[in-house]
Amino acid sequence: MSFLSHKPIESVAEARARAKRLLPKDVFTAMEAGSDSGATMRENLRAFEQIGMIPRVGVDIPTRPDLKTRFMGMDIDLPVVIAPAAAQAMHPDGEVGVARAASRAGTVMGLSNFASMPVESVASANSQLVGHLYLSGDRDTMADRVERFRRAGVKGLIFTLDLSASRVVHQPRDWGSPVYPDGLGLGTFLKYAPTAALHPRWTLRYLRRGSVPGLYAPNMSKKGGAVPTLIGGLNEWIGTHIPTWEDMAWLSNLWGGPFMIKGLVTPDDARRAIDVGATAIGVSNHGGNNLDTTPSPLRFLPAVVKAVGDQAEVTFDSGVRRGTDVVKALALGATSVMIGRPWFYGLATDGERGVYEVLETFRVTIERALIGLGKSSIKALTPDDLVVPKDFFIDEIAVARY
């Protein structure tokens, strides 16, 4: 049940505004903030605004253009995929609600190994689920987690490679970082009681469900071991060596199925990923949550697409907020786009229904953009549909100078 207005969400901006009003400041900041000054996060948004689109008129096209594509070998009806994310203390629906919303929208959900709900429960809500891992613990521990994903019915595996610069629990940010509680003891309840009282609608959601915000990481548990807290899981990850290409080759071989390496921006890294077994490349700077002042991955996308050719799928994320952003990324060669903060806003606003409504805002605005461009399908999009500033793209030679 929703405790907000039942007025449907009509844009990501509206979902964000509702989430900001509803959530405690620490929860919203944890979801919203980028690393350090947030320069990369802002650059990700600006990059899309710098690219224009060329309208075409008088074209005979259907009123509902074709949005179908493939993601990690799966057919999907919407080229917008739920990116994996941890610590979903936004709504008691949690990852299961997100999975249901994605299934209803005809798309895939990525599930983080730091998720607050077990993979088995989430997989039962969406048959098109991909699992996400960081390198954490020794290889036996990693192998056990991979096998758990496999037994749960996960269809593909995503490994995020780019969060090496942020391997601290409380990452410093210019606007301040919230401190994540280590579990839910009496001290935690007393400390956050005033916050809960000041945000009654958010608090009542959990009270009426008889639950609490997810501060545990059930998919990080070891055989026969207790479920760790989120902080406990993060500490294990921080204590593990930074992943190498050798680790990626081992993991790809262990999984043996669709395998994405995410967090790449340069053509040479994309080629290395294919060499170690990646079937999909995730062009991304982690939404501005890794190395601050990194250029938008949109500026690198065509060079990566060219380097990859037909050897792997190319997906894109970082700064996507509306359907026109999706269309621009697809026109530059991506086969699909992943979103993070937008679905978080929807979850915070109205749980499963909020996530579904955010996905539908993307569907509607993608269709509207295609009609404006005179295209009957996302497959017909090309760079010729765009107006791009001179020197916007970072090609392979520029990467070498960069």
Percentages (nearest 5) of helix, strand, coil residues in the chain:
45, 15, 40
Find tokens 């299934």 and name the residue.
103
CA distance 4 to 300: 40
CA distance 244 to 392: 31
Provide the terminal-to-terminal Cα distance of the chain, rounded to the nearest Å.
Answer: 51
Q: Is 132 a catalytic residue?
A: no
CA-wise closest residue to 354 among 56, 91, 78 = 91
Structural tokens at position 282: 């995730």
Q: Cβ-count burial of 81 within 10 angstroms (0-12 exposed, 13-18 middle, 19+ buried)? A: buried
CA-wise closest residue to 322 among 78, 31, 12, 67 = 12
One-letter identity of residue 120: E
Q: How far is CA 83 from the centre of its chain?
A: 2
CA distance 354 to 329: 24
Provide the 10 A C-beta neighbour count for residue 366. Answer: 24
Among all residues, which ones are annotated catalytic?
A: 286
